[in-house]
Amino acid sequence: MIIASKKRKENIAEYLLYMWQIEDLIRANGLDLDRIKANVIDRYDLTDAQRKEMTEWYESLIDMMRREGVDKAGHLQINKNVIIQLAELHEALLRDPKFPEYTAEFYKTLPYVVELRSKAGENKAGEIETCFNALYGMLMLRLKGKEISPETQNAIKQISHFIAVLAHDFKLNEEEKLFKNDD
């Protein structure tokens, strides 16, 4: 919760990947608040007020996961909304001729996105969500100590760079600095 709040302000991409990890952490603990307290919350050096706040945050996430039916898989609507916001900004940047560097970066990334979508066998996910799925998949592979091919490393490097550009533009947009000269 403290980390999520900080990441949300600083880097939307890191925030989203962190929140996906939190969803998985909650699932790994069986959506059981007592297990989360023992395995997560109690491991932090917190004041009583911070511990209470963190417990309430996890409790609210558990409740949302149950109500939204994402207790086994999927993402909370709050996290889907971030993807939607990023996708909307992505489309706006592609349409605006003032951002040729962004467009060029996207077209460098697009072949990897197309390849990932074909390997996944479904095209429901948009380009931005596909990029995040790839980044999260890479994170999981690294955590499991799996071997990563040079081709996959190159793809992830480009996707990561592209998402970093989008996250930077998202921050500028939130600060109303991105389209500031538009009428």
The yes-or-no verdict on residue 123 having pLDDT over 70 is no
Which position has the token pair 């990890």? 21
pLDDT for 74: 94
65-84 confidence digits (pLDDT tens): 999 999 999 999 999 999 99
Residue 94: in which H helix or E strand, if any? helix 77-95
Domain boundaries along the sequence of the chain:
2-68, 77-174
pLDDT for 122: 61
Determine how many CB atoms are found less than 10 A away from the CB of residue 179.
Answer: 16
Tokens (6 digits) for 45:
């050096």
The yes-or-no verdict on residue 180 having pLDDT over 80 is no
Whether residue 90 contacts residue 106, with contact meaning beta carbons closer than 8 Å, is answered with yes
State the Cα–Cα distance between residues 9 and 3, nearest whole angstrom: 10
pLDDT for 182: 52
